[in-house]
Amino acid sequence: MDAPLVANSGHQGTAMSLAPLAHVLYSRIMNHDPKAPQWMNRDRFILSNGHASILQYSMLFLGGYGLEISDLKEFRQWGSATPGHPEAGHTAGVEVTTGPLGQGFANAVGMAIAESHLREVHGSSVVDHYTYVVAGDGCLMEGLSHEAASLAGHLKLDHLVCVFDDNKITIDGSLDLTCSDDVAARFRSYGWNVIEAGEIANDCDALEKVLLQAKNHAGAPTLVVLRTHIGFPSPEMTDKHEAHGNPFNAELTSSAKSVMGIPNEAFYAPSGLVEAYRTHVASRGADARQSWEKTAAGKTSWYDSANAPDSAAIANALPVFDASTSLATRQAFQKVLEATGPVMPHVLSGAADLTGNTGSKLSGTVAFSSSHREGKHIYYGIREHAMGAAMVGMALHGGVLPVGGTFFVFADYMRPSIRLAALSKARCVFVFSHDSVGVGEDGPTHQPVEHLASLRAIPGLQVIRPTDANETAQAWLIAATHDGPTAIILSRQTVPAITDGSAVAPGAALLRSVPNPQVVLVGTGSETGVALQASELLSAEGIAANVVSMPSWDRFALLSKEEQAKILPNHLPRVSVEAASTFGWARYASHSVGIDTFGASAPGNVVMQKYGITPDNVARVAREAVNK
């Protein structure tokens, strides 16, 4: 209560009602060591209803993870270790970044997938831990929870335990305003083991018994339905929706403390109690970790190599495509993925039902399933939202590199997960094929137009749209060794091999350089070839045109201004050529050939022609730019 009161912001009601559960998890159930927060075989805890972050921060303070009272006093303040919602990599002991409801739940499914795969491959003496996730009504109302729970039940992820905080309250009011789901029946239909724990939210021994029962259940993930009362034990605010998002005032805080029998003192935490708690947690955690270290000694080198891949080995395994090659970049990606498979055993690849279309299939391996957890190819089903969030969980679990594919237009279904991947620097690779109106007959519903601009706008997301097979190979190398998420954007249509791939690392490079250029044509993806053909038309007219392949704005932005100017001289007209929205191109181009409307249903080459993505039109725009 005290931290939200000082901050005049925060959600104490849920945290209050879940405090006994958190205490039991951290002090009796979970294997974790505050002195080694990144211990590989630790149990993972995820607070999916991340608005209750003060609950997790309180436990990290009590458990000895490095937070002190001074940090709690800075709750939700600039530069503090206790931001409004838990952020992975920001606060020791926080596994994933949560807040957007349902994401943490689906992240937990991803973590359970990674754990079960690694346990099968490397043995239970090395990998054998559990993922515990707490989710509220909001998490389970979000459609993402359906996708993720269905997938988890199908895969029988029995090292996954979700505690459903059944407090029947949302910000708007009582749950019955908006929802009458039978959550237990719903999860049973997914194939989950369901324990309806009832009114035990304040009985620590009963909570421990139920959690151990959930942990020991084999053959299915477990949902514990825990009836709680938001705001308990506040006499005035228990079961009130106002307890959700409004910090208690001083009078309400004082009243609750009186019921609890503790002094009306801000941030009351007796040093003896805190010391005893930390000693207990540290001792318990150290015993578990040290026992594991003896058993797993010399068997964990794969974990470090997976988290820090050998770029030289990957580069040496990459195929090189000669000038006779003509492949859609999605097809090239498939070849690259398979060629590097032997040196990248930690890759888990899959797709949201479009496996054969996206190039993300790992051939020669059985599919990951409840009976073949060693499988490295994951069939996510038509669950783009869950795939994206699960990939983030897998990446933050560590030991694997998740790759997931779907059509580019369906990045819309994955955007919250992609954004959180960037926010948490989760090392995963989103593969998007069918990247433009070149998709053709499926029409505007399946033709991405604004999607490149929208992904490029996400801070921390590396976006690469390769021209051809060789740039696709380099894109995979860059993505696999990057310290955050990457989106690789691939074509449906066949394109010739016209580059050596050298433009990917710097983000852009000259593909055609002529003496005394008068204009620069800048292409991405399949349109780089269009720019190259346009330069030949201009040359026949006596107009000298350089051609630049620019697969990645993000990487180009890392170059110095001088390096950028060598590729894109500011004193020359620069014409971008991309079969997508021109939004954002003003940063690099003086003129743009693109598509600022929705597409149309027709063969892909016809749609391209109708929208002016042709050598003739590019040459026309460049000619006018030079003449002006």
Residues with a catalytic annotation lie at 384
Q: How many CB atoms lie within 10 A of CB 621?
A: 20
Are the C-beta atoms of residues 380 and 358 closer than 8 Å to each other? Answer: no
Buried b (16+ CB within 10 A) or exposed e, 64-101: bbebeeebbbbbbeeebbbbbbbbbeebebbbbbbbbb
Are the C-beta atoms of residues 506 and 369 closer than 8 Å to each other? Answer: no
Quote the CA–CA distance of 11 and 257 in Å, as a whole number.
Answer: 17
Tokens of 349: 């690849």
Tokens of 251: 């009078």
Residue whose C-alpha is closest to residue 484's, from 407, 430, 433, 556:
430
Q: What is the amino acid identity at position 124?
A: S
Residue with tokens 């010739």: 496
Tokens of 82: 């206790």
Quote the CA–CA distance of 226 and 20 in Å, as a whole number.
Answer: 12
For the chain, the distance separating the N- and C-terminal CA atoms, rounded to the nearest angstrom, is: 66
DSSP 193: E
Tokens of 214: 């959930």
The CA-based angle 438-603-553, given to 5 degrees, is: 10
Distance from chain centroid for Cα 57: 23
Nearby residues of 246 by Cβ (< 8 Å), 6 or more positions away: none
Tokens of 270: 């007796």
Distance from chain centroid for Cα 96: 9
Quote the CA–CA distance of 393 and 111 in Å, as a whole number.
Answer: 5
Pick left, alpha or beta for residue 612 (phi over 0 → left; psi -120 to 50 → alpha; otherwise beta).
left
Tokens of 24: 């039991």
Tokens of 146: 């359906």
Residue whose C-alpha is closest to residue 453's, from 569, 562, 583:
583
Q: What is the amino acid identity at position 398?
A: G
